[in-house]
Structure 1
Amino acid sequence: MKKVFYIIVCSLLLNSSIANAQTQNRRFSIFADPQLSWFTSDTKKFSPNGVVGGFNVGFTADKYFADRYALYTGVSINNLGGNIKYNDAGYKLETRDSTYSITPGTNVKLKAQYLTVPVGLKFKTNQIGYVSFFAQVGVSGHIRLKASAWDDKDKVDKETATPQFSIAFASYNIGAGIEYSLGGPSSVQTGITYSNGFTEAYKAGYGNVSIGSLSLRIGIVF
């Protein structure tokens, strides 16, 4: 009877240790990142002409495969866009309400909302006092949800411009920051993330017009 009792106790302790180790290997965080975004262009027919502000709000999950190295992914609602100047004639802006012929020199402001899914590698230092540092690199897929356009010359005021944007685009991301421990596994996280699109995000009519961004990470890790 004692042997059975010892076996049960040992099994419970072993299962508890395994569960605790598995929990420590996974970390989840929520974030609300203020950011600036802009258009990028590989042709002189269109010129990036200013940034727009927005937020990227969501959660991430880190899966550690070593003490300080993890794979990360997540999902967020991401607001991106920018201002773009049309330098040549012959291009159009298509909205739900109408189609506008764009005259050379016209600046068009655009904003789009995306469902963003990142995948990448995260590198973290040992904790020094209450602080640890991290860096991460990866790629993100952005699925278009909706979009709007503004064009003062043609009196376009926040018209739905979803058809002007590609249904999805991809970007690479580089980031770094710090975590401040709140005791136990929880911590506050802050940092900077730079993102640059490498596939078409905006259907301007020629070349590859994509989106870049710079965001401030503000998050809580559980």
Structure 2
Amino acid sequence: MKKILTFSLIAGLMFTANAQDAADKKVLAGLTFGGAININDPQTNTIDSKVGGDFIVGMSLDWNFSKNIGLATGIEFDFNRFTTSYNEVLYLDYRDKDILQFKDYNPENVDNNFRVDSRKHKSIYLSLPVMLKFQTNFMGYMRYYGKFGVRNSFLLTTRTNNEGQAFNLEGDPAGVTELEDMKSPGAMSFYKGSIGIAGGAEYNLSGNTVLVAELGYYYGFSEVFQQSGAVFGDDEKALSLYQIPDPKKPSENDTRTYYAPSLKQGQLMLKLSVLF
């Protein structure tokens, strides 16, 4: 019986010492990965969008001001996916694997036209979360925390899969109904911002090493799609979708009106991290 009590006491002291190592360290950094459900909120009746998905990988950093308050930040890559469908007749011009923008338009050099019915967006963002973190003391080898702040995402690249119908110069349907993996500059806003709140738990594996599990919700406050006037020097030069008065004659480009869909995106996010 004495041996059992002695072993239990030693084990308890070891757990306390390990947790104390992690609690006393001012900076914890390591790898993080996770996923999110994209909750899309169209700001206009001209588009519809269901939920999408996001895969996240990167590095996390916790800087503790004290045992109970700190700053949570990091560098993460977001692989964002979602689909939109359109309730109005919209067209785009394309050349090989490139979707053309207004600045590429030349009435004397008419490119291929494509009516867009739905579009899958595949974007990669560099995200920099900045959040204030409040955490408990270690209870054994566990502690819990909550945090809130801003998630700043900057667009690195975007491509789209488009479904619809291509037309020739005479306005007759061509044999193309899909444009896949198209380069789509100007489709998405460079900056995507959200305000979030999250909570989680840290499990002390050994010494300074902790395993972190976190669930949070982030409310998107900025436009996901690039809007007219967002690029300095020309209100429409980066846009690519447009409307025309006669859908049977898509080649009559001199009367086109360029269009920017409006959508904001929230995220329900689950992340796992290993910090040292």
Normalized against structure 1, the TM-score is what? 0.79
Deviates more, 1:32-41 or 1:159-168: 32-41
Residue-pair matches, total: 200
Give the drift of 1:29: 2.8
**What is the root-mean-square deviation in Å for CA atoms of aligned residues?**
2.6
1:151 shift after superposition: 2.0
The residue aligned with 2:197 is: 174
The Cα of 1:112 is off from its aligned counterpart by 0.5
The reply to whether residue 184 of structure 1 matches residue 185 of structure 2 is no
Matching residue of 2:155: 144
| Alignment partners' CA distance in 2, 1:174 and 1:94 | 41
Residue number in structure 2 paired with 1:165? 188
Match of 1:144, as an amino acid?
Answer: L
Can you give the 5+ residue segments of structure 2 that lack an aligned partner in the other structure? Answer: 1-20, 101-112, 165-176, 228-258
Q: Is the 8 A contact 1:43 1:208 kept in 2?
A: yes
Q: Deviations over 1:75-134 (max 9, x none)?
A: 11111231112112346487852355545xx22111110111111101111222221111
Shift of residue 206 of structure 1? 4.2
CA displacement 1:164-206 (0-9 Å, x = unmatched)? 0112221112211111111222111112122232111213734
Q: 1:71 to 1:146 in 2, by over 3 A?
A: same
Aligned partner of 1:65 in structure 2 is 65
User: Does the residue aligned with 1:43 lie in a helix, a strand or coil?
Assistant: coil
Distance 1:193 1:162, change over 3 A: farther
**1:47 aligned partner:** 48
Q: Which residue of 2 aligns with 1:200?
A: 223
Distance 2:48 2:68 in 1: 42
Maintained 8 Å contact 2:225/2:261: no
Residue in structure 2 matched with residue 14 of structure 1 by the alignment: none
Matched residue type, 1:113: I
Q: Are the counterparts in 1 of residues 99 and 182 from structure 2 also a CA contact under 8 Å?
A: no
Relative to structure 1, the CA distance from residue 39 to residue 26 in structure 2 (aligned partners, 3 Å threshold; closer, same or farther) is same
| Rounded Cα–Cα distance in structure 1 between residues aligned with 2:93 and 2:82 | 15
1:214 match: 268
Deviation at 1:47, TM superposition (A): 1.7
Given that 1:39 and 1:84 are in contact with CA atoms closer than 8 Å, whether structure 2 keeps it comes out as no
Residue in structure 2 matched with residue 81 of structure 1 by the alignment: 81
Structure 2 match to 1:130: 141
- 1:147–1:207: structure 2 CA closer, same or farther, 3 Å change rule? closer
**Alignment-mate amino acid for residue 97 of structure 1:** D
- Partners of 1:109 and 1:59 lie apart in 2 by 28
Q: Which residue of 2 aligns with 1:98?
A: 99
**Matches of 2:31 and 2:261, distance apart in 1:** 36
Larger radius of gyration: 2
Distance 1:162 1:197, change over 3 A: farther
Q: What amino acid maps onto 1:213 in structure 2?
A: Q
The amino acid of 2:126's aligned partner reads L
Does the 8 Å contact 1:75/1:118 carry over to 2?
Answer: yes
- Residue type at the aligned position of 2:153: H
Q: Distance in 1 between matches of 2:79 and 2:155?
A: 10
Given the two structures, how large is their TM-score scaled by the length of structure 2?
0.65
Give the share of equivalent positions with the same residue, in percent: 24
Match 1:121 to one of 116, 132, 136: 132
Secondary structure of the structure 2 residue equivalent to 1:88: strand
Unaligned runs of 5+ in 1: 1-19
